[in-house]
């Protein structure tokens, strides 16, 4: 233990929403040694005031009150790039350490902020930015620093996992999305979650920590879960799979393969076991093999646990092991089997023409599945193709999209290989 323990570390909360109030609540209840909450900052702070925090806490709506005070650690829990990014920068410049749950900020500006923190001799911790209460970042930084991680696969967005696991049980997308919003799991505008942007920011952070690869957020392709229908779960089940929003990346030579989107996951993979808002991360190491982390990735209290753990790390004089990362190119060109669901107005010769378009790109068909109970007027069927580069498949699908009997845009999902499981 260090000298830092002798004096109490003074902490300020920026943003008194769900996570901020959970952090305050846990600090008040469990009174961890070495830590004191001194400020709570929020816009229109009057409406936020609660009577269960210590009388000595200063409530303020002026960020300068925090930045000019002898606060040691700023807990940035407001989220978003602006103005939170400015607060974090100014806090670090003032020599204050920062703990943040802000995945967007860390994904976009983490490297620069880390550099700024080091130059000021203070700390930047963001364990809560990925997988909330599941200690994925400390587990990787502290526990797996000695390995060479070559692959990560995870369920990093609890909202999508909740929706897809409910759809697996028979719920309809639109209906379950409404329910998810009513439960407070999804925002009024669910785009960040369902389009994969939230998970992508987290994947970019993990790429940096686990694969030591710096990539731009916008370089990683994200596919929405909105196109998934009940029939896809039925076909997936037939193949011994389910469907989950997966964020995955692996090293291939000097570049990194990375993507986020709904995928077919074998039912015997740990990734298929995660239900509800659970988060899960599977990490493949060159020396240690596969390690799986899972638990509650979101919600006030689990996220607050990660924030307070980081605060305690600073209070106890610990520091993150920052192994160097380097800029690398990103590709989405995985070599995987694909699930392709087409809806056609049936007539003779369709299979031949589709098979031809695939063959032109040297893609082999593994199976064709067609469930009974549909009319020839609107006939869904599924083509499973053998492992092929995503780019080749994209070309084939562009060709197929020109065929006039197609009634809906074609759905194309990667299939996680069984050996990808633990």
Show contacts with its own copies in window 31-90 (CB under 8 A): 32-33
CB of 79 or CB of 295, closer to its own copies = 295
419 touching its own copies, by CB under 8 A: no
| Cα→Cα distances 268→239, 264, 271, 337, 421, Å | 12, 12, 8, 17, 7
Active site residue 31: no
- Annotation: binding site for NADP(+): 14-21
Show contacts with its own copies in window 149-178 (CB under 8 A): none
The 315-354 site mask, x for binding its own copies (CB under 8 A), equals: -xxxxxxxxx------------------------------
Q: Which two tokens stand for residue 23?
A: 């952090």
For residue 304, the minimal CB distance to its own copies (Å) is: 7
Judged by CB under 8 A, the residue of 12, 14, 67, 137 near its own copies is 137
For residue 289, the minimal CB distance to its own copies (Å) is: 5
End-to-end Cα distance, the chain: 37
Q: Out of 96, 166, 202, 223, which one is annotated catalytic?
A: 202
Residue 60 contacts by C-beta under 8 Å, 6 or more apart in sequence?
39, 40, 41, 45, 66
User: Whole-angstrom Cα distance, residue 135 to residue 143?
Assistant: 10
User: Whole-angstrom Cα distance, residue 331 to residue 356?
Assistant: 27
For residue 306, the minimal CB distance to its own copies (Å) is: 7
Q: Which two tokens stand for residue 51?
A: 């009577």
* Number of C-beta neighbours around residue 277 at 10 A: 23
Among the listed ranges 8-16, 131-139, 207-215, 247-255, the one in contact with its own copies (CB under 8 A) is 131-139
Residue 166 contacts by C-beta under 8 Å, 6 or more apart in sequence?
176, 179
For residue 352, the minimal CB distance to its own copies (Å) is: 44
For residue 59, the minimal CB distance to its own copies (Å) is: 23
167, exposed or middle or buried, with CB in 10 Å at 0-12, 13-18, 19+? buried
Q: Which two tokens stand for residue 109?
A: 């500006």
Binding residues for its own copies, rule CB under 8 A, total: 60
146 touching its own copies, by CB under 8 A: yes
The 1-30 site mask, x for binding its own copies (CB under 8 A), equals: xx-------------------x---x---x
Q: Are the beta carbons of 95 and 70 closer than 8 angstroms?
A: no
Judged by CB under 8 A, the residue of 101, 144, 201, 264 near its own copies is 144
Q: Which two tokens stand for residue 4?
A: 């830092």
Omega before 83 cis (within 30°)?
Answer: yes
273 touching its own copies, by CB under 8 A: yes
Catalytic residue ranges: 202
Q: Which residues bind its own copies (CB under 8 A)?
A: 1-2, 22, 26, 30, 32-33, 118, 127, 133-140, 142-148, 270, 273, 278, 285, 287-296, 301-302, 304-313, 316-324, 422
């Amino acid at each position: 233990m260090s000298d830092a323990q002798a004096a109490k570390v003074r902490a300020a909360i920026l943003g008194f929403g769900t996570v901020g109030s959970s952090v305050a609540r846990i600090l008040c209840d469990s009174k961890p040694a070495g830590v004191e909450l001194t400020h709570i900052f929020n816009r229109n702070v009057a409406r936020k005031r609660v009577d269960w925090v210590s009388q000595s806490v200063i409530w303020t709506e002026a960020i300068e009150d925090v930045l000019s005070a002898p606060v040691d650690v700023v807990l940035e829990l407001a989220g978003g790039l602006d103005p939170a990014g400015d607060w974090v920068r100014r806090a670090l410049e003032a020599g204050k350490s920062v703990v943040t749950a802000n995945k967007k900020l860390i994904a976009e500006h983490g490297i620069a902020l880390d550099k700024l923190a080091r130059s000021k001799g203070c700390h930047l911790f963001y364990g809560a930015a990925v997988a909330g209460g599941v200690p994925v970042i400390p587990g990787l930084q502290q526990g797996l620093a000695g390995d060479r991680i070559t692959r990560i696969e995870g369920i990093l967005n609890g909202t999508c996992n909740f929706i897809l696991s409910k759809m697996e049980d028979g719920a309809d997308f639109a209906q379950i999305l409404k329910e998810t919003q009513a439960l407070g799991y999804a925002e009024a505008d669910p785009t960040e979650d369902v389009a994969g942007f939230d998970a992508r920011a987290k994947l970019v952070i993990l790429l940096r920590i686990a694969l030591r690869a710096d990539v731009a957020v916008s370089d990683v392709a994200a596919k929405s879960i909105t196109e998934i229908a009940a029939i896809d779960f039925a076909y997936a089940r037939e193949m011994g799979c389910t469907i989950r929003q997966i964020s995955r990346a692996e090293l291939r030579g000097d570049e990194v393969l990375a993507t986020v989107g709904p995928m077919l996951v074998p039912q015997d993979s740990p990734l298929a076991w995660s239900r509800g808002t659970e988060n899960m991360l599977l990490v493949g190491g060159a020396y240690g093999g596969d390690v799986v982390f899972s638990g509650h990735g979101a919600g006030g209290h689990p996220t607050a646990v990660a924030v307070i753990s980081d605060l305690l790390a600073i209070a106890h004089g610990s520091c993150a092991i920052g192994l160097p990362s380097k800029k690398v190119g990103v590709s989405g060109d995985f070599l995987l089997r694909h699930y392709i669901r087409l809806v056609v107005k049936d007539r003779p010769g369709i299979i031949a023409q589709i098979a031809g378009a695939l063959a032109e790109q040297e893609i082999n068909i593994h199976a064709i599945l067609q469930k009974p109970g549909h009319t020839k007027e609107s006939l869904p069927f599924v083509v499973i193709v053998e492992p092929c580069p995503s780019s080749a498949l994209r070309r084939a699908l562009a060709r197929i999209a020109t065929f006039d009997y197609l009634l809906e845009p074609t759905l194309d999902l990667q299939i996680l290989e069984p050996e990808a499981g633990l």
